[in-house]
Each structure stands twice: as C-alpha cells, then as structure tokens.
C-alpha cells in the first residue's frame, strides 16, 4: 500500500487536504468518495518512488480492463451525480477545466468517461461548456445544454448546475415510483396467464377425459371448459404468435402519427389512469419550465424545451399552441386555460405567479403539488389492481374447479340412487 497526499472538496464545498493509504489511485478516490470528498488532485508522499511506479501501472491497467461499463449505457443517475459534484467543485472556486479533469478521472463508466474527456478537451481548446456538451446529445439533452448555456451567460453556472442536479434526481425518483407501482401488477398478470395456460392445456384435459368417455350429457359450464381447454391445447403456438403480433401492431399504431393522438386522448379519458397520466405530465411540465425559468432561460425557449419533456402528445400540442399565443402577447395562464388540458388549480397558480412576477417559484409549487398527487394516485391504482388481479385469478380457478366437480357430484348422486 502507498501513502498519498491529496486535495479535494468536501460535501460542504470546502477545500480539504490530507494523506491516506491506498493500493491504487482508483481505490483512493473510492475511499474518499465514501467520506464525502471529491478528489481534485493527489500525489504519492515522499519516499514512495517504487509505489509511485506501481500505482502508475495499476492506474493504467484499470483503465484498460474496465470494460464492464463499455457495453452498457450511461443512466441519468450517473449524470445527476456528475452534475452535483461539478456544482460543488465550482462553488469551491476550482476552475472549470480542473473540475472537469478531477471528475473525469473518477468516472468508472467507460462511455461516460470518454465523453467527458472530449468535453474537457473542447473546453481546454477554448469552447464554452454548453457547446462542448451539445456534441454529446445522448448524455446531455437540449434541456441540460440550454440551462448550462444560460448559467454561463449569467455567470451563475454553479447554481444552475445545482438546480439541474435537483431536477434530474427528482425526475429519476418520479420515474422509479411509476415503474415500481407497475411492476407487481404486471408480474401477477404474466404469472397468472402462464398458470392458466398450463392448467387449460395440460391439467384440465387429463381430468375431463373420463367425462367425455362416458358419453353422458355434461353441464354447460363443463362443456365450455372442455372446449376452451381443447382450443388452447391445440393452438398454444398460434395463440402465442397471435398475441405477440397483436402487441407489436398495437405498439406501432399507438406510436404512429395517426394513432398516437387517438391513443393518448383515450388514455386521458380512462378511469383512474387518465387523471394519473394528466397529473404526471402536468407535474413534469411545471417542474421543467420552472427550473429553466429560474436558471435564466427565456420563456419561449423554455416552453419549447419543456414541451418535449411531456410524453402525452395531446398535452404537448396544447403547450405548442400556448407558446404561439404567448408569442403574440397573451399570458401563459390564459393560453393554458383555453387548451382545456390543464387543471384549474394549476392555471390559477400560474396566473397568480404571473401577476406577482414569481412565475418560476409558482411553477415549482405546481410541480410539488402534482407530484404529490401522482404518489397518491399511484398508491390508489396499485391498491385497486392487486385485488382485481386476485379476483380475476380466483374467479378463473373457481370456474375450473366447479366445472370439474359438478359432473363428479352428478355421477355420485346417480350412483346413490
């Protein structure tokens, strides 16, 4: 193990220094990162010449063999963490080029590190940060670049990066909540379908075979069960292919220019799902627009970018129409009200924010309100789907059991006579 002298910035944004033992530079960064310190520079302490040579080789080797992340992408969590650390270093007074260098060295994802190295090289050559990041749209989208550009122009890049990190983290939390709420019902649905197919194709035919061999008239429900079982057993592959084709065709239609508006309009009218989708899109729109306005992005530009964050094309079209009306001099609240796609509470809060000159702060309150509503509605949806799935599965199993037991009971009664 070698002894390193290091410099860095702690979680409070203060410059700190110290010494620490580690077997390689990468280990040193990881150990200090656990303590809440972002390393900006380091060197081996005096008397570590051999260790310095080993560390150099080890550092080079780790860069060569760190191929695990090469085949994966860069997720939003990594980008948010990078943005947060970058803001912390800039607030501590560390120059931009040195900040990029320190953060690039700590990134373990090969793709992310490569892109950040190119950004750092462009900044060192005289490019501004926004233009350098714009060359990597898969990592830094239009919203990210626009906010960075506004921060550079206003001279408050560190504050803008903090807001951007908050935005990315909130968006990721919201996405995780939606995904978590949907996982359990989907798993139950898939497992339930598999169980029913196995019962109908394999188990039921063996039990009902003795009923058919007796040649007696069976109850209607038993005949329906036998017919369904024969149909599923003889056409399992066809049903599987048909289901896959139907899903693919539906996905293509629902993502086409003609089908997407129809489907998205239908979603907004669905019971429970519609209000949830509206609250989700409204909260996302308000959060994006408020964050960009607070960072100094002009309203029309912010509306244009916030529109792209909204997934529902009906609400997106309403935002586009609002942008055109705002260009002609109308207030944002009036244009949103005319669209008929935004809740009255949001429109009222936006109107108050415009009159008070605090639109960005009011939009953030709108986002907090509707994100809280999304949490409540997700809980209601999950609590509703679970018993519905249980009722469906229980009803199907009860039908199968009753359809099998009824002929047996009839035979028992006949035998008793």
Identify the structural domains of the chain with CATH numbers, from first to last.
Answer: 2-65 (no CATH), 76-169 (1.20.81.30), 183-417 (1.20.81.30)
pLDDT at 216 over 70: no
Give 145-171 pLDDT, tens digit per residue. Answer: 888 988 888 888 888 899 888 888 888
Burial of 121 per CB tally in 10 Å (0-12, 13-18, 19+):
middle
Contacts of 84 (CB under 8 A, 6+ apart): 161, 162, 165, 169
* d(C-alpha 124, C-alpha 39), whole Å: 20
Mean pLDDT for the stretch of residues 68-77? 61
Instruction: Give me the residues paired with residue 4 across strands.
Output: 20, 44
With bands split at pLDDT 50, 70 and 90, how would you rate the model's confidence at 336? very high
* d(C-alpha 10, C-alpha 12), whole Å: 5
What whole-number percentage of the chain has pLDDT above 70?
87
pLDDT at 283 over 80: yes
With bands split at pLDDT 50, 70 and 90, how would you rate the model's confidence at 414? very low
Contacts of 243 (CB under 8 A, 6+ apart): none
pLDDT computed for residue 67 by the predictor: 39
With bands split at pLDDT 50, 70 and 90, how would you rate the model's confidence at 1? low
Give the relative orientation of helices 76-91 and 96-106 as an angle to the nearest 10 degrees.
140
pLDDT computed for residue 173 by the predictor: 85
* Residue indicated by tokens 């005096």: 46
pLDDT at 319 over 60: yes
Reduce the DSSP state of residue 155 to 3 states and report it.
Answer: coil
pLDDT at 417 over 50: no
pLDDT computed for residue 69 by the predictor: 40
Contacts of 138 (CB under 8 A, 6+ apart): 74
pLDDT at 48 over 70: no
Cβ contact 42:66 at 8 Å: no
Listed as own residue / partner, the contacts of 186-194 with beta carbons closer than 8 Å and 24 or more positions apart are 188/386, 188/389, 188/393, 189/389, 192/389, 192/392, 192/393
Cβ contact 3:21 at 8 Å: yes
CA distances from 90 to 16, 35, 233, 295, 398 (A): 15, 19, 66, 16, 65
Q: Enumerate the H helices of 220-297 as residue ranges.
A: 220-234, 236-255, 259-269, 273-294
Q: How confident is the prediction for the chain on average, in pLDDT?
A: 82
* Residue indicated by tokens 């009923």: 211
* d(C-alpha 132, C-alpha 116), whole Å: 9
39 φ, ψ to 5°? -75, 130
Using left for φ > 0, alpha for ψ between -120 and 50, and beta otherwise, residue 251 falls in alpha
**Token reading at 121:** 């090289």
* d(C-alpha 351, C-alpha 357), whole Å: 10
pLDDT at 232 over 80: yes
What whole-number percentage of the chain has pLDDT above 90?
20
How many CB atoms neighbour CB 247 within 10 A?
Answer: 10
Which of 61-76 are b and which e, b meaning 16 or more Cβ less than 10 Å from the residue's Cβ? eeeeeeeebeeeebee
Reduce the DSSP state of residue 204 to 3 states and report it.
Answer: helix
pLDDT computed for residue 306 by the predictor: 87
pLDDT at 8 over 70: yes
* d(C-alpha 8, C-alpha 102), whole Å: 9
pLDDT computed for residue 111 by the predictor: 87
pLDDT computed for residue 58 by the predictor: 46
Q: Which of 78-87, 190-199, 283-292, 346-355 has the lowest mean pLDDT?
A: 190-199
pLDDT computed for residue 410 by the predictor: 66
Helix H or strand E encompassing 296 = none
Contacts of 34 (CB under 8 A, 6+ apart): none
pLDDT at 57 over 60: no
Sign of CA dihedral 118, 124, 130, 132: negative
pLDDT computed for residue 407 by the predictor: 77
Instruction: Give me the residues paired with residue 153 across strands.
Output: none
Give 392-401 pLDDT, tens digit per residue. Answer: 888 888 888 8
Reduce the DSSP state of residue 341 to 3 states and report it.
Answer: coil
pLDDT computed for residue 220 by the predictor: 84
pLDDT at 352 over 90: yes
**Token reading at 306:** 């916030």
Which of 230-246 are b and which e, b meaning 16 or more Cβ less than 10 Å from the residue's Cβ? bebeeeeeeeeeeeeee
């Amino acid at each position: 193990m070698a002894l390193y002298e290091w410099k860095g910035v702690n979680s409070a944004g203060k410059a700190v220094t110290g010494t620490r033992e580690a077997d390689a530079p990468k280990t040193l960064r990881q150990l200090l990162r656990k303590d809440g310190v972002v390393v900006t520079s380091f060197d081996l302490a005096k008397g570590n010449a051999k260790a310095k040579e080993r560390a150099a080789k080890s550092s080079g080797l780790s860069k060569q063999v760190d191929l695990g992340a090469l085949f994966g992408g860069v997720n939003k969590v990594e980008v948010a963490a990078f943005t947060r650390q970058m803001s912390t270093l800039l607030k501590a007074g560390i120059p931009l080029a040195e900040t990029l260098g320190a953060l690039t060295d700590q990134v373990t994802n090969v793709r992310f590190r490569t892109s950040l190295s190119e950004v750092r090289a462009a900044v060192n050559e005289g490019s501004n940060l926004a233009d350098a990041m714009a060359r990597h749209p898969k990592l830094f989208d239009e919203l990210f670049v626009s906010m960075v550009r506004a921060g550079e122009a206003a001279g408050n890049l560190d504050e803008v990066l903090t807001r951007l990190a908050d935005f990315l983290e909130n968006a990721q939390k919201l996405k995780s909540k939606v995904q978590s709420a949907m996982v359990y019902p989907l798993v139950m649905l898939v497992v339930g379908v598999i169980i029913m197919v196995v019962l109908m194709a394999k188990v039921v035919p063996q039990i009902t075979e003795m009923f058919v061999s007796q040649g007696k008239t069976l109850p209607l429900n038993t005949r329906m069960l036998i017919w369904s079982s024969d149909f599923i057993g003889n056409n399992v592959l066809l049903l599987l292919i048909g289901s896959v084709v139907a899903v693919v065709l539906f996905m293509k239609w629902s993502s086409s220019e003609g089908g997407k508006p129809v489907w998205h309009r239908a979603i907004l009218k669905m019971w429970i799902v519609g209000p949830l989708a509206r609250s989700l899109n409204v909260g996302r729109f308000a959060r994006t627009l408020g964050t960009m306005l607070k960072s100094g992005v002009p309203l029309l530009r912010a509306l244009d970018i916030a529109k792209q964050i909204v997934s529902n094309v009906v609400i997106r079209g309403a935002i586009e129409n609002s942008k055109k009306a705002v260009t002609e001099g109308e207030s944002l609240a009036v244009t949103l009200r005319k669209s008929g796609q935004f809740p009255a509470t949001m429109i009222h809060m936006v109107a108050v924010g415009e009159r008070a000159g605090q639109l960005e702060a009011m939009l953030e309150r709108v986002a907090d309100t509707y994100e809280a509503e999304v949490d409540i509605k997700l809980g209601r949806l999950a609590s509703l789907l679970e018993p519905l799935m249980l009722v469906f599965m229980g009803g199907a199993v009860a039908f199968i059991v009753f359809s099998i037991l009824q002929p047996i009971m009839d035979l028992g009664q006949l035998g008793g006579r």
